[in-house]
Amino acid sequence: MPELPEVEVTRRSFADRIEGAIVRSVRLGAPLRWPLGCTPASLAGTRVGAAERRGKYIWLPLRRDGAPAGGLLLHLGMSGSLAFGTAPAPHGKHDHFDLVTSRGVLRLTDPRRFGAVVWSPALDAPPASALLSKLGAEPFDTALTPQAFHAALQRRSGAVKLVLLGGGIVVGVGNIYACEALFDAGIDPRTRANRISRPRAARLLASVRATLGRALELGGSTLRDFRDAHGMDGGYQAQARVYGREGQPCVRCGALVRRVVQGQRSTYFCAGCQRR
């Protein structure tokens, strides 16, 4: 599943090129997770604004005659990807949304159709506000201080790995990044969140930020079929220190990396380096 680094890399790969473009038409393929919420023809003639990201959503604001005209909230789902080009290939059976503009076509391809493109009158109005209401803080938001992060952990009794994946405290820490951040912080992924001390919480927050920052530098992770809007793979997975390395020596202490299942997701960790 594309996580925050992959979604941000995707946004960056087309945002500058599509900003200011005029929407010519919209083509819909097979139904996605949620309906578009407006008639495709009603989007024609609008102008695309600056693309933003909130969690794993991308927001494309639209204007008509200089006034706000709502926007499109896009989600890549489990296997979706966005491509932007001036001469796209003929659409295939997995291409479910084309935003045809004066500067090119933004296309959502999603074999599993868990992705979505939803029109909303504003980012802070339904349906966008409802979809975003339960998201935690952005990982690089300065308001997310070590003290605030620790206080939020104290209100959660579940395993810290699952708390990170839940996104209610901080968004974007997907499976691979949660495993790597917990390894970097030296915290066992099975540790109850409310048992983590203030110094360890501060270390974990720093590790989350460092891990996601490095993933952004490397273009995200390509584990199956992620591509950015240029069609480029991510490279973070090649530098993972525990993820996907079950039975291999820990790069830090030499003990064997272990794998357990938490919340139906594989968790990789080193029992020698990561303490409860």
The amino acid occupying position 14 is F
Is 217 an annotated catalytic residue? no
Instruction: Specify whether 180 is catalytic.
Output: no
Query: Which residue of the set 17, 47, 56, 107 is catalytic?
Result: 56
**Vertex 94: Cα angle to 88 and 98 (nearest 5):** 45
Q: Which of 24, 190, 259, 265 is catalytic?
A: 265
Choice among 3, 6, 8, 180 that is catalytic? 3
Alpha helices of 218-272 — where are they, by DSSP H? Answer: none
To the query of whether residue 3 is one of the catalytic residues in this protein, the response is yes
Q: Which helix (H) or strand (E) holds 134?
A: none
Q: Count other Cβ atoms within 10 Å, centred on residue 86.
A: 9
Q: Is there a contact between 44 and 24 (Cβ–Cβ < 8 Å)?
A: yes
138 in active site: no
Give whole-number Cα distances, 118 to 71, 124, 133, in Å: 8, 14, 15
Which residues have a catalytic role annotated? Answer: 2-3, 56, 265
